[in-house]
Amino acid sequence: MRRSARGAAIALCAAALALSCGTAGAAAVVPDGGFVIHGSVTSVQRQVDIAHDAGVRWVSLNTGWETLEPVPDGYLTPGGPGTAAWDELGQKLSYAASRGMGIELRFSNAPAWASGREASNDPPTPANRAAYGEFLADVARRFGAEIDAYSPWNEPNISVFWSPVDPVAYTALQKVAYTAIKAADPTATVLSAPIVGRYGGANSGYAFLRSAYKAGLRGHADVIGWNGYPGGEPESPAPFQGGLPAANTLPAQLTLRDLIDEFDPGRKVWIMELGWSTCAACDASAANGVTEAQQADYLTRAFTYRRRYLTGVTERIFWYQLADEGTTRSVWSQNQGVLRADLTAKPALAAFRALAVQVADPVPGAPPPGSPASPVLVPVPTLPNAAARLGLPVTAASPTGRAKLGRLRLSARRGVFTLRTAVALRGGTSRMRVEGYRARRWRPVATVKLRRSSTVALRIPDRGYVGFRVRLTVPGRTGFRVGRVIRVPLSILRAR
């Protein structure tokens, strides 16, 4: 029986307002997060250790069919072609499992004998789909005790991995893969191939997934995989076709939920690749280059958005990736890690650690935190009492004027707050400053000039704020003399 199918589900003991259970034998983990890890056996083992210490309990590893089966059935003969790659993969899986990791294994790249082409990223021909199913079944029989989830292909909606793009042909392969893996490892979680959200047109993530469902995807994927590299801030929808959020953004997950529920109600999504590169003077391929400080901030905000708005939609985010692939600072693809290539930490690693919650240490054989067999529960950060003490009255007057600030009212929908208040003025104009609290300090949100008594309604993208403060000047005076603070209600933070 698979490792993650044994034992009772882990109870996460962090309550809504508690960051720690204070229980002996507890561990700090990020139950809704994981890292993509690449490299040699030695490098993967070192990265697994670093990830484990950072609170990770899920890792995504990858392999290629062409590497494991360069000739038909070669690995079935002791010492035959591909057997060395099987041994290497086994070492990686065994080590990650020994550290208590949930493991997702992703496949791509058919061998030339199966694809009919020399390009290593092509899928098998229809005649060789059955051979791919037999290969996946052998993987599941040999390594099923270590593997928790399988992705039978990668990014089938771009020509880099499937040329020409064909959602019907992809769905046919997914059906074969799902059936074969489930027959060999019935308790496995089988994902769809992660779909790239960043491309528009007929092969956009939305359009491709819709076509795959029409071709029969339902019933052949336990979880929908998704990849995305936002071009801006984590909360920005970057609207495109028809006003929908750009498919590579986090707000797109809400649109994706609507799409999935048309064909496959309740099916969960795992974001298998999300990240921002810390490239400098990024090359032409750079879609989302940021500084190291921005990367750390965006990581925190991405997980905060998931926890607030995507509960029941997006179950997990795998950050791409743990370690940089190279040292050329101008190359986008070489600078995506939260570790540098020498495995020293960028600020984003500490930001990831700060997302951890306390859970009971898993017993051997129990499912990893956040697995389909254990709940993903996280505490809700709130506005500290010290920050909530503003020290200003709600009304103030001077010889030249008077200002009164009404009660603050706050609502939220799909990642956007609406802050409302009434302002009563006498004697001239006033300046209103709105700030939001996150990451231990107040941050500017908006400044509004008011010429008369007004009802103000501001739409504010949720960048992880836990409170807002509004301050006013009194007409004819400088300095803020009137103010109120509002905490983001727990009902808003939880009910997503």
pLDDT of residue 242: 74
CA distance 117 to 112: 5
User: Average pLDDT, stretch 412-437?
Assistant: 94
Structure confidence at residue 16 as a pLDDT band (50, 70, 90): very low
pLDDT of residue 282: 85
Residue 472 contacts residue 453 (beta carbons within 8 Å): no
CA distance 91 to 39: 12
Residue 118 has pLDDT above 60, yes or no: yes
Residues contacting 37, CB < 8 A, separation 6+: 44, 47, 48, 51, 59, 60, 61, 321, 322, 323
Structure confidence at residue 8 as a pLDDT band (50, 70, 90): very low
Choose among 205, 227, 90: nearest CA to 82: 90
Residues contacting 247, CB < 8 A, separation 6+: 197, 198, 199, 200, 204, 205, 206, 228, 255, 256
Q: pLDDT tens, 210-266?
A: 999 999 999 999 999 999 999 899 999 887 767 889 899 999 999 999 999 999 998
Q: pLDDT tens, 149-195?
A: 999 999 999 999 999 999 999 999 999 999 999 999 999 999 999 99
Distance between start and end Cα atoms, the chain: 35
User: Average pLDDT, stretch 22-50?
Assistant: 87
More confident residue, 358 or 329: 329
pLDDT of residue 66: 96
Q: Which domains does the chain have, with CATH numbers?
A: 3-360 (3.20.20.80), 385-494 (2.60.40)
- Give residue 182's Cα distance to chain centre: 26
CA distance 18 to 41: 38
On average, the pLDDT of the chain sits at: 89
Residue 427 has pLDDT above 80, yes or no: yes
Residue 464 has pLDDT above 80, yes or no: yes
Using only the alpha carbons of the chain, give its radius of gyration.
25
pTM metric for this prediction: 0.87
Residue 32 has pLDDT above 60, yes or no: yes
CB atoms within 10 A of CB 145: 18
Report residue 410 as tokens. 């706050």
Which stretches of 13-149 are DSSP H helices? Answer: 41-53, 65-68, 83-98, 112-115, 129-143
Angle at 313 (CA atoms; ends 105, 295), nearest 5 degrees: 70
Q: Using CA of residue 462, residue 14, residue 275, residue 346, what is the dihedral sign?
A: positive
DSSP conformation class of 242: G
User: Average pLDDT, stretch 311-320?
Assistant: 92
Structure confidence at residue 303 as a pLDDT band (50, 70, 90): very high
pLDDT of residue 7: 32
Block residue for tokens 């893996």: 181
Block residue for tokens 């920005």: 236
Block residue for tokens 């002791």: 78
Residue 450 has pLDDT above 60, yes or no: yes
